[in-house]
């Protein structure tokens, strides 16, 4: 299996990301929301942009709140259904809480 994208949902001092190192090691694109203010290169994903992953798609959703550039990914597996299957919210929605 080939890794195509490494996505960080946000930049924030509450975590250390190995995303850039993983992207470099695998040749994947390092992705963050277009509004992220970072001093390093990354693919600037726009709200509504679709990341293609074979039979699966991940639609970028700008979900500011925890941080201004936060994004979530709406995942659709076309082998299951044309409707979205789940959403990856990073640090926006948590069990019993919001970021």
Tens-digit pLDDT profile for residues 37-96: 988 999 999 999 999 999 999 999 999 877 889 999 999 999 999 999 999 988 776 666
pTM over 0.85? The answer is: yes
pLDDT of residue 77: 96
pLDDT of residue 91: 73
pLDDT of residue 44: 97
Residues 38, 41: Cα–Cα separation, whole Å: 8
Check if CATH label 3.60.15.10 holds for domain 5-98.
yes
99 vs 66 pLDDT, higher one: 66
pLDDT of residue 15: 72
Give the pair of three-digit tokens for residue 32: 């963050």
- Asked if 66 contacts 92 with a C-beta cutoff of 8 angstroms, the reply is yes
pLDDT of residue 99: 56
For the chain, the structural domain boundaries read 5-98
Residues 62, 52: Cα–Cα separation, whole Å: 18
């Amino acid at each position: 299996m080939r890794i195509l994208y490494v996505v960080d949902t946000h930049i924030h001092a509450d975590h250390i990301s190995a995303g850039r190192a993983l992207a470099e090691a695998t040749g994947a694109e390092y992705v963050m929301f277009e509004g992220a203010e970072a001093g390093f290169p990354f693919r600037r994903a726009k709200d509504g942009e679709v990341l293609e992953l074979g039979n699966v798609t991940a639609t970028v959703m700008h979900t500011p709140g925890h941080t201004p550039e936060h994004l979530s990914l709406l995942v659709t597996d076309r082998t299951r259904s044309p409707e979205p299957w789940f959403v990856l919210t990073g640090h926006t929605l948590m069990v019993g809480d919001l970021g």
